[in-house]
Amino acid sequence: MLSLIVNLVLFSIAGAISTVPVSITMMILLSPDPRRGAVPFLTGSMAGSIVIVGLSAVGMHYLPGRPELDQDAFLTWLGLIVGAFLVGYAGFLFWHRSQTDNALLGKMKSKFRTARPWEFVVLGVGLNLRPKAIVLAVTAGALISVRDLPLLEGTLFVLAFAAVTQSAVVVPIAVWLHSPGRAEAPLTAIYTLLERHGRTITAAATLIIGLFILGSTIAGL
């Protein structure tokens, strides 16, 4: 159980460390009418994450040949694959300085003034379909399923993973809902920081987590 919790925490933190979702959250909260988009975007983000992790867990449970599955070997391979993926993804972020994300965010920002609530829900769901998000969510679902947990425990793990993974969306919106006036200054500062160094911060944190997962998995062989 401890290894499951540790792995889920690492994977969820890796999922939370991403420039695009938090930048979009900041843009929504700093827009002229943040109330129209904040809660719908949060709803879509959480719902998308829960659905993908949940479907992965259910699908793994009914996987053909599941009764003969060697849990230790499966978890080892899973750790190696995800760790290598995160290291490779971090390398991509470090060495490929793309302006695609900034251009995409710029287009989104201009549309937020006229977007309807349901469009923010769709946007939140859609961000869970990015390659990194899918890999981590599917992996989390597989980890939860392979442990053969009771339904309630498995559901709680799915919800907890989704909450941590979406913390970059959940926390700013929760802070803003609690005190909109006080939240504006720190949100603006964070958004400015992300515009300048968000890609580097994401790459460094992802690299550290990926290396840690690889190291701990190899050490357990």
Residue with tokens 């449970």: 61
Name, in order, each residue with C-beta under 8 angstroms of 60's C-beta and a sequence gap of 6 or more: 66, 141, 142, 145, 146
Cα angle: 29, vertex 41, 57; to 5 degrees = 140
Residue with tokens 């550290």: 208
The answer to whether 140 touches 11, Cβ cutoff 8 Å, is yes
Q: Which two tokens stand for residue 66?
A: 């599941």
Rounded Cα gap, residues 116 and 182, in angstroms:
26
Compare 109 and 73 and report the one with higher pLDDT. Answer: 73
State pLDDT tens for residues 25-66: 999 999 888 989 999 999 999 999 999 999 999 988 777 766
Which phi and psi angles does 98 have, rounded to 5°?
Answer: -100, 145
Q: Which amino acid is at 119?
A: E
State pLDDT tens for residues 149-175: 888 999 999 999 999 999 999 999 999
The answer to whether 8 touches 136, Cβ cutoff 8 Å, is no
Q: Which DSSP string do the residues of 112-129 spell out, in sequence order? A: TTT--HHHHHHHHHHGGG
pLDDT for the residue numbered 38? 94
The mean predicted confidence, pLDDT, of the chain is 88
Q: Which amino acid is at 176?
A: W
Rounded Cα gap, residues 1 and 123, in angstroms:
34
Compare 147 and 141 and report the one with higher pLDDT. Answer: 141
The proportion of the chain whose per-residue pLDDT surpasses 70, expressed as a percent, equals: 92
